[in-house]
Amino acid sequence: MTRLPHRSLVIIALALCAVASAAVAAPRARAQSYTDVPKSHWARDAIEAVTQRGPSGHKVLDDYGELFEPEKAITRELLARSLVLASGNYGENVKTVAMKDVAPDDRYYSVIQVALRHGYMNLDKHGAFRPQDPVPASQAEVAIIRWLKERYASSNWTLLTSLKPSRWQPNDGWKTDAPAYLPYIVASRQLQLRYNHPSDADGYEVTPNQAIDRAEVAYMFWRAYAVSGEWMLYGLADYKSIAFPPLSERQKQITRFALKFVGYPYIWAGEYPTKNSPYGPQKAGGFDCSGLLFYIMKMHFEYPITVNERGAHDMAERAKPRITRKQLQSGDLIFFGPKGPKSSVESIYHAGLYLGNGWFIHSTGSTDGVTLSSLDSSSYYKTYFAWGRRVLKPSELPAAAAQTAPEPAAD
């Protein structure tokens, strides 16, 4: 595909996306000093704090003596060990299960058995644990959310079952075919477990199926330990049941495709799921707020969004007519500004893709990537919603909605 010269336009528009930092302020803990973790390392505080957790001589993620190996992909056996140490279940005697690839005399055999018993991790369909395999980012989030669920068992974790793609039907009889990890990623991002790297360090970001390194896992544990009371988990209940109004076949296609990208990281100028965007190389696969919409609605579904509308406020300017909150239909582009519906076009700073009943999908720095949010349960998004833009044709909407639907703006 011909490379289109709009990357400079993207850079100009970037400041219009919300990139709230999820940084955590905490005093530096006295801990193991690692020779490969300088004071300037982005995860230094997290590494120092987390490696103090656990019983004497067996600390979380303290696996390599004087080294921490921050950029090394964490293996399944070492993640299992860290989860068991973090849970306080180290040394527990459990009923063992057969593993094809981990013998009873293996040094990690016991902690793997405990991790399996508590459901933090699983065997594959062949009965193997694959102890030395690297852990994909999505599976690290799944494991840590399962540990947190056990830690705060009385909180409302309904979303982990109600949004399970094998059973979730946002329309009667219709499943989304979303990745199996979707509910865990939604929970993880609601709790802000992932670190959003600044734009000049976006190369550290990984997509859900890429291996995650030890520094990133240390940060997730650090954030998880910061969930110091069940009040911090209260917002998870907002996701316990998500249903959409009746969708047309086109709206289902868009929704199904969009949900595949839940968990992809927030990337400054990102508009593609891999580094090799046809519009110019990215530091990593992922999306900024308008880039997600650009990829889904322009690049994939080929709606008339031009390369000059790559930024959120440029997309918002073409909303003619502007769609109000009550008029929103699945597939509409939605925009946010500092004065809500009274915001100027120039002040629009964030964008999302509306799915229905208040729910939308978006990429935001505050959760380091693509997740689901609500215009109804979030006072923030409810307050700063500005307007929507219709790109679907009336014929692509449900019959009842098509009767009163405004035509999208002409090219």
Residue 183 has a pLDDT of: 98
Q: What is the DSSP string of 343-397?
A: --GGG--EEEEEEETTEEEEEEGGGTEEEEEETTT-HHHHHHEEEEE--S-GGGS
Strands 350-356 and 359-364: antiparallel
pTM: 0.90
* Under 8 Å between Cβ of 291 and 311: no
Residue 27 has a pLDDT of: 36
- Looking at per-residue pLDDT, the higher value among 114 and 402 belongs to 114
Residue 411 has a pLDDT of: 53
Largest CA distance in the chain: 70
The band of 23, judged by pLDDT with boundaries at 50, 70 and 90, is: very low
For the chain, what is the mean pLDDT? 91
Return the residue matching tokens 């600044």: 198
Q: In what order do the strands lie in the sheet with 385-389?
A: 369-374, 359-364, 350-356, 333-336, 385-389
Indicate whether 208 pLDDT > 70.
yes
Q: How far is CA 331 from CA 242, 262, 291, in A?
A: 16, 16, 15
Indicate whether 325 pLDDT > 60.
yes
Residue 88 has a pLDDT of: 96
Indicate whether 115 pLDDT > 50.
yes
Indicate whether 182 pLDDT > 60.
yes
Q: What is the DSSP string of 17-52?
A: S---------PPPP-PPPTTS-TT-TTHHHHHHHTT
Q: How far is CA 107 from CA 60, 71, 110, 112, in A?
A: 16, 24, 8, 10
Residue 10 has a pLDDT of: 43
Mean pLDDT of the 71-77 span: 98
Strands 385-389 and 333-336: antiparallel
Neighbour-count burial of 156, counting CB atoms closer than 10 A to its CB (0-12 exposed, 13-18 middle, 19+ buried): middle
Residue 33 has a pLDDT of: 84
Selection from 290, 172, 155 nearest residue 235 by Cα: 155
Mean pLDDT of the 380-403 span: 91
Indicate whether 335 pLDDT > 70.
yes
Indicate whether 26 pLDDT > 50.
no
31 CB neighbour count, 10 Å cutoff: 16
Positive or negative CA dihedral for 25, 31, 32, 38? Answer: positive
Indicate whether 21 pLDDT > 50.
no
Residue 405 has a pLDDT of: 62
Residue 402 has a pLDDT of: 60
Mean pLDDT of the 295-300 span: 98
Helix then strand count (H, E) for the chain reads 13, 7
Tokens of 214: 């030890």
Convert the pLDDT of each residue in 118-143 to its tens digit: 999 999 999 999 999 999 999 999 99
Residue 238 has a pLDDT of: 95
Of 128-142, 146-160, 220-234, 299-313, the least confident: 220-234
* Under 8 Å between Cβ of 390 and 315: no
Selection from 340, 358, 342, 274 nearest residue 350 by Cα: 340
Residue 409 has a pLDDT of: 60
* Under 8 Å between Cβ of 77 and 107: no
Return the residue matching tokens 């279940």: 89
Residue 162 has a pLDDT of: 97
Residue 406 has a pLDDT of: 66
Of 16-25, 361-370, 382-391, the least confident: 16-25
Measured in degrees and rounded to the nearest 5, phi and psi for residue 251 equal -65, -35
